[in-house]
Amino acid sequence: MAASSSSLFLLLLLFVFVVSATSRHLGHSALHSYSRTQSTGLPPRSTYGPVKTNGRNYSHVCDSRRFADLGLRVTDFAYCNKNLSYAQRVKSLVGSLSLEEKVGQISDQARGVQRIGLPPYNWWSEALHGVSYVGHATYFGDIVPAATSFPTVIVSAASFNESLWKSIGQASDRTRAMHNLGHAGLTFWSPNINVVRDPRWGRILETPGEDPFLVGKYAANFVRGLQDVEGNEVAANPDSRPLKVSSCCKHYAAYDVDNWFGIDRYHFDARVAEQDMVETFLLPFEMCVKEGDVSSVMCSYNRVNGIPACADPKLLSQTLRDDWKLHGYIVSDCDSLEVMHHGHKWLGDTPEAAVSQTLRAGLDLDCGDYYYSFTESAVAQGIVRESYIDNALKNLYTVLMRLGFFDGMPKYESLAEDDICTKDNIELAADAARQGIVLLKNDHNILPLCKDKYKKLALVGPHTNATEAMIGNYEGTPCRYVSPLDAFSAEGNVEYDLGCTVWCWEKEAHQRAKEIAARADATIIFAGISLEVEAESLDRDDLLIPYGQSNFITEVTEASKGPVILVIFSAGGLDISSIARDNTKVSAILWAGYPGAEGGRAIADVVYGRYNPGGRLPITWFKSEYTKLLPMTSMPLRPIDELGYPGRTYKFFDGQTVYPFGYGLSYTQFNYTLKSVPSSVVVKLDPLQLCLPLTYKPNASLEEEHAGAACQSVSVADTACNHEIDFEVEVANTGKFDGNHVVIVYSKPPAGVAGAPIKQVVAFRRVFVLAGASSSVKFSIDACKSLSIVEKTAYKVLPRGQHTIVVGDDEPTVSFPVEVDFN
């Protein structure tokens, strides 16, 4: 009887183990089905919808049945007359509102006006790397339990692949499906396109990196993917161009300090030279508006040179609308007006004065309550014109017209729950993670890992079974998770132990990890940081892996019997020089960033060679000493010699780094051959052309030659320049593996020009090349844009003299000179 009970107990234990293991692997790895036939207790789909009226749901506002439900006739309201232009309809809508009713529509939770059939609308949804639950308009649950989670933006940016960025945006069909089901709005406040100026910034994971051109290209492609309705990419009247959903480029402008030693974004005044504004902080937003035709821009919390960004008419009305021709609305970061009033205490304003300043500056929508609470009294005090409110409403409701909020958009109305967690979108998320992974080290070509040789793996480290850590912030509920443990367990014999958490204070927990590393054929350490270390409202103090984790990595590495592969989770760079880069016992290093819900699968594909890594770092990884040389709050990009401050980003820093911008290895080798290279550009000047002087370094070798020239440089804005620099690069794969390769093209200005960047990205292309084959990559770059620099005067100028076009970083690299002259 005792033996029988013992057997039954062992069988029960075995059953529990199998069930739990199966549920862990299937729960994380198998595609969840959210078909309504498998759900219970949910009401029929007709219960869900974007426009709710008297207990019923409608797909759009101007449905005659909806107006009948309200006891109204749709034909009585010109704003629903499709025979009129959007401008005419919006004018009629705004004109039919009282002042009180108008004020109710210029906050992110618009109240609606039942009297005229205008429903409430929640403006705030987010889709930074998949639909997020952040925002009043979006929620997960019942019929929409999840949506696809893509890698964080810094990882996707590392792919240097414009078509991928657009494809991620085009997956916005899922956002339209969620809107149809009443689970999201149509206005998504993404992407974040602030340039990474300082490596300590907590929000690096949300951004495309440190190069303003790269950031701008990401913005334009992602926005086009989100917004464009196929066949309607351009329109004679941009204010009538239909939108699939509305995108928003943020945070405008010079925003990149969150909370550094008590200095926070709610009080920070970014003191920025106009040269840096034009060259770095504004360029991505200019590209987002001009190339992406974005329909919204969000202003930031901080002040810029003393003025709150959301109250600066130069930034909003003059630059966004007059200079760049924004076709859309401008929204504040949430509670920015309250921050302006209570945080910045700008001009000692009353709430009404704060409302007046922002409306005058061109702010259309307040994410918060200040417009709703204080605009009427501001009008009564005579400090706000009602026409300012009319203009804001015109911008807001024109965008909603373009989105089909009033008329519907039949092309998308059939999208529903089965269009959200699709296999195609999940595969796109995995592919984006694979494309963004960067190979930082590969001694003795240990990767790709040979399964026949390394049969037993030890998986250790705080991110071994990462799930939520992989998806970063501004996340939603993903369709599924595939953790590293899930992915590698499916490959073969695995032993695992986390060893410790990210901070790694649990020293006694190291022992188990060391024991399994000592008996494994190879060890993979999943380490790095997380949102506990870098996040919104949390800047870093230094660039090091937490001390306890650094010790853990060293101890496990020393204990390992076989080769050690380090997989880094982070957004910002980490100084891993001593513990990994220069440690001969660490054979390979992969940077995975925060790779999204499919991250484990992507990492395994790279480790085992099913995918040859081709990602490049979109930021510089600085040595830890860098942060001791200058405060995070120093805004200049160029070195400040008198203070001993080094330059920022690859464009102005020429010291030693852990890994430079654009760095990334492959399992194969590539080389370049230049073809059809131009040698000069001659710009014909107008007889009244304004020539501008250049600032030269003291004792510069070319100073005498160009200082006496009749025309040292010309303003790009005032020059009729239609010169293209056309060249071709043959990329040869001389190794044994097929692979993707990123070709980055830089321009270098003439020697001796003071304050000019060391080099700057002007083009890039990701290409796939078979082993032993080659691919010709053609580039055509605008001479005036690509060879221009921003002078200290903030003029964007084309300098006379010998420029250099450089193709590649380190190896392979080729270059050719381009002489610029004027006549």
C-alpha 229/C-alpha 306 separation (Å) is 40
Task: Tell me the catalytic residues.
Answer: 333
Point out which residues pair with 692 in neighbouring strands.
713
Tally the C-alpha atoms within 13 A of residue 618's C-alpha that lie toward its C-beta.
36
Cβ-in-10-Å burial (0-12, 13-18, 19+) of 426 comes to buried
Nearest to 740 by CA among 685, 666, 803, 680: 666
Q: What residues contact residue 542 under an 8 Å CB cut-off, 6+ apart?
A: 200, 624, 627
How many residues appear in the chain? 823
At 10, which amino acid appears?
L
Point out which residues pair with 17 in neighbouring strands.
none
Nearest to 310 by CA among 295, 322, 297, 321: 297
Please state, as a whole number, how many other Cβ atoms lie within 10 Å of the Cβ of residue 804: 16
C-alpha 714/C-alpha 822 separation (Å) is 9
Q: What residues contact residue 520 under an 8 Å CB cut-off, 6+ apart?
A: 456, 457, 458, 495, 560, 561, 562
Tally the C-alpha atoms within 13 A of residue 438's C-alpha that lie toward its C-beta.
29
Q: What residues contact residue 660 under an 8 Å CB cut-off, 6+ apart?
A: 617, 620, 621, 650, 809, 810
At 119, which amino acid appears?
P
Q: What residues contact residue 574 under an 8 Å CB cut-off, 6+ apart?
A: 528, 529, 543, 544, 545, 568, 621, 658
Please state, as a whole number, how many other Cβ atoms lie within 10 Å of the Cβ of residue 12: 10
Nearest to 715 by CA among 699, 748, 744, 693: 693
Tally the C-alpha atoms within 13 A of residue 755's C-alpha that lie toward its C-beta.
20
Cβ-in-10-Å burial (0-12, 13-18, 19+) of 193 comes to buried
Q: What is the dihedral of CA 79, 80, 82, 84, to 10 degrees?
A: -20
Place of tokens 């009282």: 98
- 3-state helix/strand/coil string of 10-74: HHHHHHHHHHHHHHHHHHHHCCCCCCHHHCCCCCCHHHCCCEEECCEEECCCCCHHHHHHCCCCH
At 668, list the tokens: 């194969």
Nearest to 175 by CA among 212, 199, 148: 148
Three-state DSSP at 150 gives coil
Place of tokens 């000592």: 518
- 3-state helix/strand/coil string of 519-542: HCCEEEEEEECCCCCCECCECCCC
Supply angle C-alpha 274, 279, 280, rounded to 5: 100
